[in-house]
Structure 1
Amino acid sequence: MPKRAIIPAAVAAAAEALNMSPGIVSGDHLFLTGTTGSGPDGAMPADPTAQFEQAFAKIGMVLAEAGLSMDAIVEMTSYHVGLRDHFDDFDAVRLSVFKPPYPAWTAVEVAGIRREGAVVEIRVIASMVP
């Protein structure tokens, strides 16, 4: 089965510059590239909660391009710099985004993320089957 790239117009230039796809449909699933909380202008907010909200908004944008909502997410892995420092804030944002049944989730503490100033990167897999 051939794979298909999902690239919202708002991030097409960045995807091309980085030689990557924000999302790839393969079979019955959409695999999203890890997403940080940078804003539309590329700036990374200093506030972790703002990063969490923006990261989920960008995930929602890729899902919408594929005709999906956040409800389609079946698995999420979040990578955190300083996980214990901001876990409760991240979890509050997560719970504002998802409703039961919640996606499977693994949270991982990391030493660093490629984007300077990023405290989180979120990777998700969504089901293309309603």
Structure 2
Amino acid sequence: MTPIVVPVPGVFPYEQLGFTNCVRHGDVLYLSGVASLDAQGQVIGDDIDAQTVQTYENIGRILAAGGSSLDRILQMTSFVVDLGRNGGGYVATRARILKQPTYTSAVIGVSALMMTGLLVEVQCCAAVSN
């Protein structure tokens, strides 16, 4: 099988950075790290709760473009700036968004992310809906 790049309208295009937002291989979507960015690449929100909500809205858009949804996430790795300060807020907000714990997860504390002002980035894979 050949990986297929999934075009995603309304989300900051990563191609200008040398990679893509989403690739489909078989019945699985693989998402690059997704953050709280608008379609122009500007950070949305200045606290962990607002950024977590926007990040999962972006993930939802990407998954929908590939024929999936948030409830089809299989695995995720979350990178949180200043885990001691922001980790609890991230996990609590994520739990309000993803109500069923049907995915595997790792939350990793980092000192910074690629763009100034970002507090969280989430990389995940999801099953394509049938």
Same fold, judged at TM 0.5 (above):
yes
| Partner residue, 1:20 | 19
| 2:116 matches 1:116 | yes
C-alpha separation in 2, matches of 1:123 and 1:75? 8
Give the alignment's TM-score, normalised by structure 2.
0.89
Percent of residue pairs bearing the same amino acid type: 28
Alpha-carbon deviations, 1:74-98, whole Å to 9, x = none?
Answer: 1010011111211221112211221
1:7/1:15 contact within 8 Å kept: no
| Partner residue, 1:126 | 126
- Count of aligned positions: 129
* Worse-matched range after superposition: 22-31 or 95-104: 95-104
Alpha-carbon deviations, 1:33-83, whole Å to 9, x = none?
Answer: 101112344322222211111111000000010121111101010011111
| Partner residue, 1:8 | 8
SS at 1:50's partner residue?
Answer: helix
C-alpha separation in 1, matches of 2:27 and 2:62? 16
| Partner residue, 2:59 | 59
Relative distance call for 1:96 and 1:17 in structure 2 (3 A) is same
Q: Which runs of 4+ in 1 moved over 3 A?
A: none
The structure that is helix-richer by fraction is 1
Name stretches of at least 5 consecutive residues in structure 1 with no aligned partner.
none
Measured after TM superposition, the shift of residue 24 of structure 1 is 0.4
SS at 1:35's partner residue?
Answer: strand
C-alpha separation in 2, matches of 1:11 and 1:100? 25
- Counterpart of 1:32, as a letter, is L
SS at 2:62's partner residue?
Answer: helix
Q: CA RMSD in A?
A: 1.7
Aligned pairs (5 A) from 1:68-87: 68-87=68-87
